[in-house]
Structure 1
């Protein structure tokens, strides 16, 4: 009988959203052992360390990197810190998991990819929404050729963020958050759309700051054009009285519409409507063969642990993060210059160095 792989020894750094990472690792107790948590707020680090047994509370990333019992560092720190911290982790011989946005430019993504290859370590960006069973089911139907060609997709992100959210000193500022609702909120829904449709070839966007007194945008309206002629729209705001996230994909042979749960609309229920009775039977039969897997952070971390054990491909790659960030870059350039931006960006395009003004 094969021996089960030893649990991944993980340290979670940044205990805002990182708390959910700690909880997710604890849920996968056969896959992970949280050995350290780290935050500049010592009281917070001690509190979270107390949730589990034998977990060290740290306040300095260097302490994590010096530890021999850390296999993977999970970075959940403010966005502007990611580039330097990922590099430090890789050079210390640690694999890395990193929250979004990974970095502030495509050039930085490429630099980290080169460094990962140089050090023989890996970097997995977090895009947990794509692991909802609803969106996974649709992706399986696309892969099986059962959807037909895409026509139109509609993506809506209507969340609510006010002064209390932006009270964190790093939020709402180009220098530290790296952008506004496009890069901090809508990127989840964008990644889900790209997961289904692939990358676009043209982007036209408008952005505005209408809800909060911040440097960055908090509303956006975007159109995406794909190589097969299909189209998509993305609307995003943090000024909605009712919070929803929604995806609607219109294909040749079926229409798929998500639920509207704002932070979980990748999960079921998704309504898939197939007008043709015979084709509906084929679709239903294929869906019935799909395994039920973990979702959200737990889903991504479970698949990561499997890849870590087998040497298989990561469930989310640097290429995946680069694709989403290239579209985000195009959105900002389009809004600034009032034009359609064609993708992929040219190798000498100055926007490769970042989208911030």
Structure 2
């Protein structure tokens, strides 16, 4: 009989998408309780997803013996403390992006996870889109050749009413602007395909929204594999698109433009010649069809817990993305290219918040 893990969900915003992922994995997970300070939204989700218990008391979740996993879907500034408490209470953790507000927090929670023997999985569900998975497979098979250039656009629209939510657009509570909260999936997809970044030069600006944090940013990145990348993010694009384009020695790959499902099919794979195109198409035709997004990430997490392996998204993955954020903020403020990795002697290692940096 398949073991089910029992999940307590904290939050009632992005939590809806998590709950959909758990529902698609109903044979693997039960969600007996949801915790949210917003009672209307919380009870609505309980009714929609058949969750038997609603609470506003987060402290009770850590003390419960019938909970295996704490799923954190709260505003960013609360992520670290909730993750720490959950791990120390003997629970596994799923935590939404952005994971934390510094590279130091990643390293600190790594120590907690190691000491408790529990697993924490950051959320990067975009990497499980079918299009990106196809590219990942071609790279693994050696069919792409050397990497040359990657361009990634995260061009979305966020009107003033979006920032009317109290915690948004503020360094203290959102921890960063569009670079951190919106384009972070772009960082992960870049690292997922190419590995870590080596150096970044960045310009950031707040051009349209009356907020503390940036709403537009442009990054020039050198990857450790020798390729280059150009990343752009704005929250001021009336036509919302996301686009990824990868130029390799033997194939050029381009995503669809859907802003929030950019990693899904149909991606376009253009090989250097007909013979290479046949190899590419044959390899892609052999790929099994799987679920994507949260559903797939949760499924893989389940198997990691049962089999004792690493989660599908690790703290090292989250560290790569937050190193890029840290380096970009540092470059923007200093006017200099910033190398990576970000180590404990870096001035923004402990925090990139302006008042602390």
Given candidates 174, 177, 181, the residue that maps to 1:180 is 177
Residue 53 of structure 2 aligns with which residue? Answer: 56
Given that 2:194 and 2:225 are in contact with CA atoms closer than 8 Å, whether structure 1 keeps it comes out as no
1:135, distance to aligned residue in structure 2 (A): 0.4
Given that 1:96 and 1:124 are in contact with CA atoms closer than 8 Å, whether structure 2 keeps it comes out as yes
Residue range with higher mean Cα deviation, 43-52 or 76-85: 43-52
Residue 149 of structure 1 aligns with which residue? Answer: 146
Residue 305 of structure 1 aligns with which residue? Answer: 302
Matches within 5 A, 1:120-135: 120-135=117-132
Matches within 5 A, 1:224-243: 224-243=221-240
Residue 36 of structure 2 aligns with which residue? Answer: 39
With the length of structure 2 as denominator, give the TM-score of the two structures: 0.97
1:229, distance to aligned residue in structure 2 (A): 2.9
Residue 11 of structure 1 aligns with which residue? Answer: 8
1:54, distance to aligned residue in structure 2 (A): 5.0
Given candidates 324, 329, 339, the residue that maps to 2:326 is 329
Given that 1:254 and 1:275 are in contact with CA atoms closer than 8 Å, whether structure 2 keeps it comes out as yes
With the length of structure 1 as denominator, give the TM-score of the two structures: 0.97
Q: In structure 2, what is the Cα distance between the partners aligned to 1:53 and 1:131?
A: 27
Structure 1: runs of 5+ lacking an equivalent: none
Matches within 5 A, 1:257-272: 257-272=254-269
Residue 190 of structure 1 aligns with which residue? Answer: 187
Residue 134 of structure 2 aligns with which residue? Answer: 137
Q: In structure 2, what is the Cα distance between the partners aligned to 1:110 and 1:143?
A: 29
Given that 1:35 and 1:69 are in contact with CA atoms closer than 8 Å, whether structure 2 keeps it comes out as no
Residue 75 of structure 2 aligns with which residue? Answer: 78
Given candidates 85, 88, 100, the residue that maps to 1:88 is 85
Given candidates 349, 354, 357, the residue that maps to 1:352 is 349
Q: Confirm or deny that 1:205 pairs with 2:202.
A: yes
Q: In structure 2, what is the Cα distance between the partners aligned to 1:293 and 1:209?
A: 40
Given that 2:7 and 2:69 are in contact with CA atoms closer than 8 Å, whether structure 1 keeps it comes out as yes
Given that 1:45 and 1:59 are in contact with CA atoms closer than 8 Å, whether structure 2 keeps it comes out as no
Size of the aligned set, in residue pairs, is 354
Structure 2: runs of 5+ lacking an equivalent: none
Residue range with higher mean Cα deviation, 203-212 or 191-200: 191-200
Say what the alpha-carbon RMSD is for the aligned residues.
Answer: 1.1
Partner SS for 1:50: helix
Q: In structure 2, what is the Cα distance between the partners aligned to 1:47 and 1:193?
A: 36
Partner SS for 1:179: coil
1:43, distance to aligned residue in structure 2 (A): 2.4
Residue range with higher mean Cα deviation, 299-308 or 144-153: 299-308
Given that 2:241 and 2:257 are in contact with CA atoms closer than 8 Å, whether structure 1 keeps it comes out as yes
Q: In structure 1, what is the Cα distance between the partners aligned to 2:82 and 2:50?
A: 27
Q: In structure 1, what is the Cα distance between the partners aligned to 2:325 and 2:288?
A: 33
